[in-house]
Structure 1
Amino acid sequence: MRILVTGGCGFIGSALVLHLVQDLGHEVLTLDALTYAANPISLQPLADDPRHRLEQADICDPARVHALYVDFRPEAVMHLAAESHVDRSITDPGAFVRTNVIGTQVMLDGARTHWERLSGEAKATFRFLHVSTDEVYGSLPPEAFFTEESRYDPRSPYSASKAASDHLARAWHETYGLPVLVTNCSNNYGPRHFPEKLIPLMILAALEGKPLPVYGDGLNERDWIHVEDHARGLVAVLERGRLGETYLLGGRAVRNNLAVVNALCAAFDRLRPESGPHERLISFVADRPGHDRRYAIDPSKAEAEVGWRPTKVFEQALEETVRWYLDNEAWWRPIREGRYSGERLGLAPKSA
C-alpha cells in the first residue's frame, strides 16, 4: 500500500513508519513540519530505503497538502500530526488549536478531494485513520475505565483541541461519506520519546543525577501502552476496523505516576548500581492546572473486532526503554543540550 503518515518524525509516528516500511513493506510518505518535538534521526534506518520519502510540510497549508495528495496518490492516510504536551497547551493554546483543529480540517479536506476522484476498488478501499488520545474523555473516578461510549469531557487546551479534531473526523464521515476511522490511545512509552513527557524526562534526569520532579502527590493514574504495541494496533484498525467507528487502544497497564518513577528508579539501580539508589532523587513539585486524576482504557472492542492486543509487560518494557536511552546518547544528547530544559516547563522542585 501507499500510506501517507502525518507527524511521522514524532515519537509515535516514527515507530509507526518504521513498522509500516521495515516490517510490513508498505510505501510511506511522511509529512512532518519538523517542529521542536520531531526528530528526523528517528527515521535514519530508512535513509536509503526507496519505500520511504520524507516531506517537510505544514498540515495547515492547504495548497501543499493537496499537492502531496495529488503527487503521492495514497491508498490510506494515518493522521498523527499534533501538538501534544499539556504543559505547552496551557501557555500557548493557540498553537494547539491551529495544528490540531485547523490542521485536521485541512487533512480531511485533502483526503475528501482525493477520495472523490477515485473510482472502483481504489475508492472502496481508501481509509483515513485519525489518531487521538484518551485525554478527550476527562478524568475517571477510581476503578473506572474509558470505553468508546464514554462522554467527552476535555480539561485542558490540548485535550479540547484533540476532542475538536475527533468531532471533525467523524463529521467528515457522516457528512461526506469519507471512510474515516478514529483511535484514542492511552499514554505511550518506549524509545525515541521527546524528553518533556514523564518517562523520558525522568530517565534523562536520572542519568544526570538531577531531581526527578513528580507533580502533586504523584498518585495521578495513567494507562501505559508501549509505542510498538500502539503502532501494531493502528495498523490493525486501519486494515480491519469498521468505517465510522472508534477504537480505544490501551496497554492494560494502569500505574500512578509515583509508581512509574519508582519503577524507573529500580531499573536504574539494576542497570547503573554505582549511582544509586536513584529513589533519593525523587522530588515533588506543584501540581499543574487541570491535572486529570485518572485515565484508564478498556481496549476490549479493539481486541475483539480487529484482533489486536498489547503484548508488552510494563515493568520489563520500561527497563528496556531505560536501556535504549543508555545506549543511544547520540539521539537524545543534542535535544537535551540544545532544545530542551526542565526549568523552561516550570519543573523546579518545591521549596522546603
Structure 2
Amino acid sequence: MLSLSLKALKANRLKTILIFISLIFSITSIFLISSISNGVISMYSNMLKSDGDIIITQAKISDTFFSNVDATLIKKIEKFKEVKKVSALIVGASPVEKLPIVAVYGVSQNRFENYKIKQGLYPKKGEVLVGNSIYESLKNKKNIQIADKNFLVSGVYKSDIGFENGGVVLNLSDASLIFNKSASMLMVNSSISANIKQLIKKIESLSKDIEAKSTQNFVDNYNQFKIIKTSSNLIGFISFCMGLLGIVSIMSITVNQRKTEFGIKRAIGVSTKKIVAQIVCESSILGILSFITSLFISSFTLYFIKNSSLFHGYVNGEISFTLAFYLFICSLSMAVLGSIIPAINASKIDPIILMQGDKI
C-alpha cells in the first residue's frame, strides 16, 4: 500500500506539490498563531507567578491596566502570620523616543531583586532601570522621557521574560505620579503551610474595594488571556477550513484525472475500500511531511521573532509538546478529510463509465 501510494504521488507531481503547499500554509499559520498567543500568555503569567501566591486587584475590574489598589494595605497584610512578603506593581505603557509603546513597571523596593542587573545600579527616585532590548535601541542612553517626565537611566537589566526585557522599571512612587494610581496590583508571597483560601478571605476583609485570587486562579480566569485564546482558536479554525477547502478542490481534480486508473482497478476486482484506503494513504503521507516541514518553518520563524530587535521581546512563541501533538492530528485530519470525499465518489462510480472518460 505504501509503495503504491508513493508511486501515485510521484506520478501526479503537480497536484502533489499543490496539496503539499496548501497544507504547509495552513498548518504553519495555525502553528504561528497558536504558539505566539501561548507565548504572550506564558510571558505575562510567568511574570505574575514569579512574585507571589496571591494577587490582589481592584474589585470588579476588567483588566489590570485599569486596576487601582491602595498600596497602604501592604502594611496591614504583612501583619498576617502566613505572609512572608508583599510587593506592589503598577503596570502601564508609554512611548519612549521613536518606540510607539513600551511597557512601564512601577515597583516597590522589595521587588527590584526580580530584575537582574546587567550594568549600573537599581533606580532611586527620579531614575529608571531599562530593559536590555530597549536600551540597545535608545539613542540617548543617559535619560529617557516617560509621559511628561524625564528620568535618568541608572542601569540596565536583563530578563528571560520578553515583556520585562522590553520595558522600563521605576520606583512605585514615580509611577504613581505618572499613571495617577497607588498600585495596579499587590502580590502576596505566603508561607508553605498557609491555607490560601483562608488567607484570601482575611485579605478581602480588609477592604470592600479589593479582590484577591490565587495566582493560578487569576491566570486561568484573566479576561485578556481568554480573549487571546478565543481569537487564536477562531483564526486557527478558519485556517484549517481554508486548507481543507483547498485540499478537497485539488483532490477532486486529481481523482477525476485518475478515473481510468480507478476504473481498471474496479474492473479487475479491487474493492472500494482498497481504492479509498490508497488515496487516504497518499494524503496521510502528505499530511505527515507537511507537518514536519511546517514545524521546521514555524520554529525558525519564532526564533527570528524572538531575537529580532524589531519586536523588543514583546512577541514570543512557544511550541509545546501538546500544541505539536494537536497540530499533528490536525494535519492528518485535514489531509484525510480533504481526500476521503473525492475518493469515495470515485470508488463508487461504475468502472465502465470511468474507463469511458465521463466526468465524476
Determine if the TM-score, normalized by the shorter chain, exceeds 0.5. Answer: no
Compute the TM-score of the two structures, normalised by the length of structure 1.
Answer: 0.23
TM-score by length of structure 2 reads 0.22
More helix, by proportion: 2
Q: Which structure has the larger Rg?
A: 2
